[in-house]
Structure 1
């Protein structure tokens, strides 16, 4: 098999530093709720009673149960449908589900994550994709990925307290270095995947062949390219737990495509991230002496224009926040017509740039928690 990741097993973290396994079994009520939901939305699946009988019997014997491939695919898609912080849910039914529940080794997970990136990247025509690995079982914790995304940039602390790279990833970079990884010290070094499996942590470097990156330039300002900024094409979340009918899949990386503001108004603009607004403002010749000049706002718009322009020129899927806001309203209305609640967290749905100019700003939402769902893991 072609190996897309290079493993580094020179050091393992002791089991005492890791999260304990799950002791309790699956809640039968959660299982029943999901099975009934699946059958209600998939009439061709047949009678629900025989399936419930099998599920209850398996839970009684083992403390858990096994989803069919169809149930898994449906559960993953509905978890996206229920994601109250995601604005891009209109196409939830299009999510490509890769069933890799039989994979439970670090090397196997790394290989499948590589294939996930290849499929999802699709030469720039980004495909929404999820790869689901082994679930937790009573008394045994399934493998996990420590990185919050499959592709993340390292952060190096300078002696003066400054940071080279992405400050959001200081701790993951430290862990990678404990495991023997050494980067090149640039602002955009891709971190290895840190995978916890079979009692230890290992680092697995991502092959450059798998990483599609977009160098940023501006349609009007030639100097923008001199800033040396870029971003990767696939936002593959890898540190959330997929929960379906009481069964937890703690390793289930998934992706859609980027909305431009995620890069231009957050990753590259936030003070706690790459903090590029002062740099852009200086190049634009803006008056930064006080806030009333709105220099940050002007710089922010130009930075976001550069992101959208660059992705479009390179043929890489991306959406602007106005289009995505309209799509979300269309999704919400469709859900309401189908008699379903569409959960949404206003503070996440409203874009971080020109929020009041988008239709998602001017309404309230049902911020409820529905299952299936994606939840944040804890190592406490």
Structure 2
């Protein structure tokens, strides 16, 4: 998992070609916005004067929604046009970014009925970068050599170097602090209030001992370390969420040897023969982990989907996808 680094990014000037491609797409979808020719003339003049331009609120919302849809994060059955976009482009200080991230968690949890949400903070500008969130997700667990989320070991080491002190005693589900950098300033640590973190304790519909494993998972997957690019403008802090697919938790997080490595403990409790992979014990243990995840979220009345429904959605998305020009997208921070 990505650790903190001394990366120095300043906003590069926006090209008019990238802006034009997006604005034509926006006006095609929103003819009520007026003549595209006039808007293009305004943006060209603004870019020539400042090196960048400011999206209208409508343009920002449309771009964020298209980015979420076309990146493939839009889960099945989700009407992407109705995704809620929080336009917080006036916020660039680290403390204010952290406070609004906590509000994002509260709003997204929505009492279990997960609200798909994007929060957009200040963009990069030619003279200085915008704020950045370093955590892969707003809520994630520390990784230690002997326990926790192994994907986060490097990140945990980094935040400890910045002054974070892990709880005593340590556990497999210690919440990492939020790490935010504002412009060219050093990253700052912020403790995430417990009251804005919704977690689901994991139990199993048929296996009473499963609860004794003490597993749990955040209710909302808020991706926070990707930059949102719309028409050539980069928003380096734009946390977004939909809801979990069950296998994201059961297979990719709990079962995976590079994360929580829970397959062997579950298999031992099931009494399976783990002496050889030919017994398919890994498959059986993975199945029970995924059953537990879906059962637990359903019991807690927290929105979740399964991988069968998601497969059908992804196939439909792939059939309809069009790679045309510089489309809005969420991108890894290393991508320019």
- TM-score, L = length of structure 2: 0.94
Residue 63 of structure 1, aligned match among 45, 51, 60: 51
Structure 2 residue aligned with 1:304: 290
> Following TM superposition, by how much is the alpha carbon of 1:369 offset from its aligned partner in structure 2, in angstroms?
8.3
- 1:205 corresponds to which of 175, 182, 191: 191
Q: Indicate conservation of the 8 Å contact 1:87/1:325, yes or no.
A: no
Kept in 2, the 8 Å contact 1:18–1:379? The answer is no
Structure 1, residues 282-340: CA drift from partner, whole Å, max 9, x if none?
Answer: 0000111111110000111011000000000000000011122223345556x4xxxxx
SS class of match (1:164): coil
Q: Distance in 2 between matches of 1:370 and 1:288?
A: 50
The CA RMSD measured in Å over matched residues stands at 2.0
- Whether the aligned pair in 2 keeps the contact of 1:90 and 1:327 (CA below 8 Å) is no
Corresponding residue for 1:160? none
Distance in 2, matches of 1:226 and 1:92, equals: 39
Shift of 1:81: 1.7
Q: Does 1:183 align with 2:139?
A: no
Q: CA deviation digits over 1:17-57, x for unaligned, max 9?
A: 232313x3101000000010000011111111111110000
Q: Determine whether 1:192 maps to 2:148.
A: no
SS state at 1:55 partner:
helix
**Aligned pair in 2 of structure 1 residues 377, 313: CA closer, same or farther (>3 Å)?**
same
Q: Partners of 1:268 and 1:64 in 2: how far apart?
A: 43
Q: 1:372 is matched with which residue? A: 328
Of the three residues 5, 8, 21, the one matched with 1:19 is 8
SS at match of 2:237: coil
CA distance in 1, matches of 2:133, 2:151: 16
Tell me how far apart the structure 2 counterparts of residues 87 and 289 of structure 1 sit (CA, whole Å).
Answer: 38
Question: In the aligned structure 1, how far is the partner of 2:325 from the partner of 2:29?
Answer: 19
Aligned residue number for residue 173 of structure 1: 156
- Trace 1:213-362 onto structure 2 (pairs within 5 A): 213-331=199-317, 335=320, 341-342=321-322
User: How has the CA–CA distance of structure 1 residues 83 and 279 changed in structure 2, closer, same or farther, with 3 Å as cutoff?
Assistant: same
Q: Which residue of 1 aligns with 2:60?
A: 72
TM-score scaled by structure 1? 0.83
Distance 1:130 1:76, change over 3 A: same
Offset of residue 68 of structure 1: 0.3
2:147 corresponding residue in structure 1: 164
- Residues of 2 paired with 1:369 and 1:172: CA distance? 35
Aligned CA distance change for structure 1 residues 26 and 173 (closer, same or farther; 3 Å): same
CA distance in 2, matches of 1:301, 1:86: 25
